[in-house]
Structure 1
Amino acid sequence: MQLIAYILVYPILWLISILPFRLLYGLSDIIYFFMYKIFGYRKSVVKENLRLVFPDKSEQEISTITGKFYHHFCDMMVEAIKSLTITEAEMNKRFKFTNVELINDLEKKQRSIILMCAHYGSWEWIFILQKHVKHKGYAVYKRLANKYFDKLVKRIRAKYNSHLITTKETYGVLLESKKKGELTINGFVSDQTPKVHKAFHWNEFMGIKVPMHTGAEMLAKKLDMAVVFFSVKRIKRGYYETTFKTITENPKEFKDYEITDLFFKLVEEQILQAPEFYLWTHRRWKHRDKVPAEFQ
Structure 2
Amino acid sequence: MIGFRLFLLLDSLLMALPARWRKNFFIFLAYLACSLDRKRKRIIHQNLNFAFQEGLSDAQRTEIERYCYKNLALNFLQVMENRRNTQADLRSKVTFKNKEVVDRLLEQKKAIIFISAHYGNWEIGATALADLITPTLSIYKTLNNKAFEPYLLEARTNHRMDMYEKSGALKHLSRALKKGESVSLMIDQASNARSGVKVDFFGHPTYHSSTPAILSRKYDAPIVGLYIYTDDEENYTITFEEPIEVKGDDEASIVAATQRQVDALEKVIRANPKFWFWCHKRWKEEYKEIYAG
Pick the TM interval, shorter chain.
0.7 to 0.9
**Cα separation, partners in 2 of 1:149 and 1:50, compared to 1, 3 Å:** same
Alignment of 1:144-163 (within 5 A): 144-163=143-162
Structure-2 separation of matches of 1:102 and 1:116:
14
- Equivalent residue pairs, number: 284
The 1:172/1:271 distance shift into structure 2, 3 A limit, reads same
Residue 184 in structure 1 maps to residue 181 in structure 2: yes
Aligned to 1:228: 224
**Corresponding residue SS for 1:121:** coil
- In the alignment, what sits opposite 2:32? 34
| 2:2 alignment partner in structure 1 | 4
Indicate the residue corresponding to 2:246 in structure 1: 251
Post-superposition offset of 1:199: 4.5
CA distance in 1, matches of 2:167, 2:205: 27
SS of aligned partner of 1:191: coil
Q: Relative to structure 1, is the Cα distance of residues 246 and 145 closer, same or farther in structure 2, using a 3 angstrom cutoff? A: same
The 1:60–1:129 alpha-carbon spacing in structure 2 relative to 1, beyond 3 Å, is closer
- Identity fraction in percent: 21
CA distance in 1, matches of 2:31, 2:288: 36
Q: Which runs of 5+ in 1 are unaligned?
A: 292-296
- Structure 1 position 274, deviation (Å): 0.8
The structure-2 alpha-carbon separation of the partners of 1:128 and 1:276, relative to structure 1 and needing over 3 Å to count, comes to same
Q: 1:6/1:68 Cα in 2 relative to 1: closer, same or farther (>3 Å)?
A: closer
Corresponding residue number in structure 1 for 2:129: 129
What RMSD in Å do the two structures reach over aligned CA positions?
A: 2.3
**Whole-Å Cα distance in 1 between the matches of residues 115 and 177 of structure 2?**
19
Q: TM-score, normalised by structure 2?
A: 0.87
Summarize deviations over 1:24-44 as a string: whole Å, max 9, x none. 221122112211123446111
Opposite residue 93 of structure 1, the aligned amino acid is S
1:280 Cα deviation after fit? 0.6
Cα separation, partners in 2 of 1:43 and 1:175, compared to 1, 3 Å: closer
For residues 92 and 175 of structure 2, the distance between their equivalents in structure 1, rounded to whole angstroms, comes to: 35
- TM-score when normalising by structure 1: 0.86
The 1:7–1:265 alpha-carbon spacing in structure 2 relative to 1, beyond 3 Å, is: same
Q: 1:74 to 1:290 in 2, by over 3 A?
A: closer
User: Helix, strand or coil: the match of 2:61?
Assistant: helix
Q: Specify the code of the residue in structure 1 equivalent to 2:148.
A: F
Superposed displacement of residue 217, structure 1: 1.4
What residue number does 2:166 align with? 167
Indicate if the aligned counterparts of 1:111 and 1:225 stay in contact, CA closer than 8 A: yes
Alignment of 1:276-295 (within 5 A): 276-289=274-287
Distance in 2 of aligned mates of 1:193 and 1:14: 35
Within 1, Cα distance between the matches of 2:77 and 2:177? Answer: 37
Q: Which portions of structure 1, spanning 4 or more consecutive aligned residues, are displaced by more than 4 angstroms?
A: none
How many angstroms does 1:160 deviate by? 1.6
Shift of 1:80: 2.3
Contact in 2 for aligned 1:107/1:183 (Cα 8 Å): no
Shift of 1:197: 5.0
Distance 1:82 1:119, change over 3 A: same
**SS of structure 1 residue aligned to 2:190:** coil
Deviations 1:160-209 (CA, angstroms, capped at 9, x unpaired): 21111133443322443455xx4312110011102x35244122211222
Deviation for aligned residue 1:219: 1.4
Output the amino acid matched with 1:10: L
Q: Indicate how the Cα distance of structure 1 residues 65 and 290 shifts in structure 2: closer, same or farther if over 3 A, else same.
A: closer
Q: Separation in 2 of the partners of 1:24 and 1:290?
A: 38
Distance 2:7 2:104 in 1: 43
1:193 aligns with 2:190: yes
Residue 143 of structure 1 corresponds to 142
Q: 1:123 to 1:217 in 2, by over 3 A?
A: same
SS of match in other structure, 2:62: helix
Residue pair 1:247, 1:259 contacting (<8 A) in 2 also: no
